[in-house]
């Protein structure tokens, strides 16, 4: 979950396909994880969260999977739409504290 | 509720000038966070408050940065003197953690350009 720097990883998908965005988090003591979506010129917006006592959580068109063994988090978006184009960040509360630490982000581009 | 409100949305200033960014959190939220976003470093937590009290300011880059929360509905982030490397988007976020960790609600950000 370290910041990537200048070049965001980019995922390009066709409209209607499913998207999977991955995130490796860093702290095994983290017990809360969130996915945020950030559109150009806007602040990050909450998508879905999951606590460490779960390994899967579903929302509307989105599913978050948590694999604590390998410290891996993924966001699945079903039937991706052009409005899903944005940068997606995973975040964890390191050491089970009150602060969220954000990963570097992945840019999702949806082709019509 | 109008959400987290930040001002100004854009600020262009010259090196050495004082910059003050403002934030109004969502009413009833007990935590307030200031983040900075740059291409190089992504989203970095600068400082956060709980019930108006600064809890952790270890992310504040230098003494040139200071933050205050005089009451539950207002916070400021001040940079004095500003430098070109302070150019970034500064986000304020608030949350209610009364029942355990919850989502952060972000403002639209203040884009700062220091010439």
**How does pLDDT run across A83-108, given as a tens digit for each residue?**
999 999 999 987 666 778 898 899 99
User: From the list B42, B55, B107, which residue is nearest A43 (CB)?
Assistant: B107
Hey, is the C-beta of B93 within 8 angstroms of any chain A C-beta? yes
Predicted pLDDT at A2: 36
d(CA B65, CA A51): 34
Predicted pLDDT at B54: 95
Phi and psi angles of residue A94, each rounded to the nearest 5 degrees, phi first: -60, 135
Distance from CA of A39 to the nearest CA of B (A): 10
Hey, is the C-beta of A101 within 8 angstroms of any chain B C-beta? yes
Q: Is the pLDDT of residue B85 over 60?
A: yes
Q: Pairing between strand B5-7 and B19-24?
A: antiparallel
User: From the list B44, B101, B109, which residue is nearest A32 (CB)?
Assistant: B101
Q: Is the pLDDT of residue A7 over 90?
A: no
User: From the list B4, B43, B107, which residue is nearest A89 (CB)?
Assistant: B43
Q: Whose structure tokens read 């009833």? A: B28
Pairs of residues, one from chain A and one from chain B, whose beta carbons lie less than 8 Å apart: 59
- What average pLDDT is seen over chain A? 89
State the pLDDT confidence band at B99, using cuts at 50, 70 and 90: low
Predicted pLDDT at A95: 67
């Amino acid at each position: 979950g370290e910041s990537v720097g200048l070049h965001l990883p980019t995922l390009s998908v066709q409209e209607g396909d499913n998207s999977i965005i991955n995130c490796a988090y860093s702290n095994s003591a983290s017990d809360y994880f969130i996915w945020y979506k950030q559109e150009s010129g806007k602040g990050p917006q909450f998508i879905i969260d999951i606590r460490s006592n779960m390994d899967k959580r579903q929302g509307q068109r989105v599913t978050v999977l948590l694999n604590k063994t390998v410290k891996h988090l993924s966001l699945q978006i079903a039937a991706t739409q052009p409005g899903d184009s944005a940068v997606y960040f995973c975040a964890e509360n390191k050491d089970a504290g009150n602060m969220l630490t954000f990963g570097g982000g992945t840019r999702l581009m949806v082709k019509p | 509720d109008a959400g987290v409100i930040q001002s100004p949305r854009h600020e262009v200033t010259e090196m050495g000038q004082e910059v003050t960014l403002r934030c109004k959190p969502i009413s009833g939220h007990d935590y307030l966070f200031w983040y900075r976003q740059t291409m190089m470093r992504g989203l970095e937590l600068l400082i956060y408050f709980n019930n108006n009290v600064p809890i952790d300011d270890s992310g504040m880059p230098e003494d040139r940065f200071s933050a205050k929360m005089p009451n539950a509905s207002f916070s400021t982030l001040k940079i004095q003197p500003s430098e070109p490397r302070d150019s970034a988007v500064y986000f304020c976020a608030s949350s209610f953690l009364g029942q355990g960790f919850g989502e952060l609600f972000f403002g639209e950000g203040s884009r700062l350009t220091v010439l």
